[in-house]
Structure 1
Amino acid sequence: MNAVKKITGVFCFVLMTTITVAQKTVKKYIKKYEGLAIEKAERYRIPASIILGVSLVESDAGRSPIAKSLNNFFGIKGANWSSTKKMGYKSAYKEYKTDDESFEHFCQVVKKKKFYDKLKGTVDFKEWLDQMNHAEYATAKGKWVRKINATISQFKLYELDKAAVLSSDVVMAGAAK
């Protein structure tokens, strides 16, 4: 019985340590990219929570091979010039020169979707996810929506939408003068 308690204790410790490390990684990723997400949100009127939430899930908080090697934070497929050299195999995912280029292209892809004109400027991330799902943005469908919704909710990324809206309102007010 004592051995079972020790093994259970060690397992719980390892599990808690792993969870803590994973959450620190996600929080570090959010801190690094929240400004970029807000900037793109203001420019494209896509919620920052959607931009950051999708990038977190698709890139595994920047830890996925395509994020590390190709600067692809959104799982967008396309041409790349160095995946074989960097990853050891030919990848179907698009390569970007910079993180900013990856975020920019994601916003351009979303902007071309039929639902964009109807939703731009709204901060209802659940409606954005629903419309992206109907437009077949991701192949995983419901699972993809649940993961991103959970990520946005768990890390309160919807609070970034308020910052982006307030900031764009200030910019719009200044432009009206």
Structure 2
Amino acid sequence: MFKKIIALLIIVTLVSCSSGKPVIATTKKAAAVQKPRVATTKKGTYSKPIGKKYPSTNNTTEVIESTSKTVVTYDLINDYVAEYKDIAMGNMKKYGIPASIILAQGILESGAGKGDLAVSANNHFGIKCHKDWLGESVRHDDDAAQECFRKYPEAAESYRDHALFLVGKNRYATLFTYEKDDYKAWAKGLRAAGYATDPKYPDKLISYIERYNLHQYDCQVTGRDYKPFEKSVSASKSTNPKTNANSNDPNLYEVQKGDTLYSISKKFNLLVDDLKQKNNLSDNTLSVGQRLIVK
């Protein structure tokens, strides 16, 4: 009897030990579940902080319309000028085209480097293929659907081809009879020679030159003294006679450097279209010193 009791106790003990094994397996499984958490932590170690590399100091915007419609900021245009001013001055020395005109055309035609043609084809001047073009090309809607535009391996080639284009075409010969730094004559001459169909093209170029002080690069080439532009006599007059009123008139606002129609409309709680209608404006181009009716 005593032996049977001992044997029974041994069997019970063995059964108890076997029933504890699932607990050990569960512990291992739980440990395995933790591995993805460790991997996630490591991945987070290599993530980059979100933020702009070059903080903007002036985020007011304006719309540039040429071969495409592009929204740009004041800072973006300044960055564009800083990047290409040396190429523009080099072309002025070599080909006799004002650096200010080159930069203003680059800003307008390429949307300060952000327009469709500039991004897809490094074409900063909206130059179409024409019969003598043997290089690569892209198709883009302009005056007609899917027109052929020149494509360049880099933007510098676009700048070089722009100079050769003006020098090599007989219709632009008159431009080279003007003074090298007479940007107003060049702006009007380009339109007269057929570079652009937009009747406002000269005014737009002159506006960029004067708002962003691009004439200083002409003066660096010619060695003449440069005086920063402050106010344009022609731009200070609106087509509406009310803008000739006293500068203290609360109904008028004088455009400051960096202003856009959008920023002014927000300041006076107006719609952009209403602001344009009040001042008989056909596009979004503004000039420093220009007076706008805002009430």
Q: Bin the TM-score by the shorter chain.
A: 0.7 to 0.9
Q: Any unmatched runs of 5+ in structure 2? A: 1-57, 63-71, 140-144, 225-295
Tell me how far apart the structure 1 counterparts of residues 81 and 218 of structure 2 sit (CA, whole Å). 14
Question: Counterparts of 1:40 and 1:33 in 2: how far apart (Å)?
Answer: 11
User: Match for 2:189 among 112, 127, 131?
Assistant: 131
Distance 2:180 2:136 in 1: 37
The question of whether the paired residues in 1 share the 8 Å contact of 2:126 and 2:149 is answered with yes
| Pairing 1:146–2:197 present | no
Equivalent residue pairs, number: 146
Equivalent runs, 1:44-55 vs 2, <5 Å: 44-55=95-106
User: What is the SS of the residue equivalent to 2:200?
Assistant: helix
Of 89, 97, 116, 2:175 maps to 116
Mapped pair 1:162 → 2:219: yes
Aligned twin of 2:117: 66
Q: Shift of residue 19 of structure 1?
A: 2.9
Structure 1 outlier segments of 4+, above 6 Å: none
1:101 to partner: Cα distance: 1.1
SS in 1 for 2:125: coil
Residue matched to 2:40: none
1:116 aligned partner, one-letter code = L
Distance in 2 of aligned mates of 1:76 and 1:82: 10
Contact 2:59 2:74 in 1 (8 A): no
- Post-superposition offset of 1:91: 5.4
Contact 2:128 2:150 in 1 (8 A): yes
Is the partner of 2:127 in helix, strand or coil?
coil
Q: How does 1:22-101 map to 2 (within 5 A)?
A: 22-78=73-129, 81=136, 83=138, 92-101=148-157
Higher relative contact order (CA 8 A, sep 6+): 1
Contact 2:122 2:153 (C-alpha < 8 Å) held by counterparts: yes
The CA distance in 1 between the partners of 2:137 and 2:176, in whole Å, is 36
Q: What whole-Å deviation, never above 9, does each CA across 1:6-50 have from its counterpart, x for those lacking one?
A: xxxxxxxxxx84439700100100000000100111101111000
Structure 1 or 2, whichever has the larger Rg, is 2
Q: Deviations over 1:67-91 (max 9, x none)?
A: 011010000011664647xxxx965
Task: Name whichever structure is richer in strand by fraction.
Answer: 2
Q: Comparing both structures, which one devotes a greater share of its residues to helix? A: 1
SS in 1 for 2:85: helix
Partner Cα separation in structure 2 for residue 77 and residue 106 of structure 1: 11
Task: Indicate conservation of the 8 Å contact 2:100/2:214, yes or no.
Answer: yes
Q: Tell me, which stretches of 5 or more residues in structure 1 are unaligned?
A: 1-15, 168-177
TM-score by length of 1: 0.74
Q: Answer yes or no: is 1:19 the counterpart of 2:56.
A: no
Q: TM-score scaled to structure 2, two decimals?
A: 0.46
- Residue identity over aligned pairs, in percent, reads 29
> C-alpha separation between the residues in 2 aligned to 1:102 and 1:81?
12
Tell me the distance in 2 between the aligned counterparts of 1:90 and 1:138.
Answer: 18
- Give the aligned CA root-mean-square deviation in angstroms: 2.3
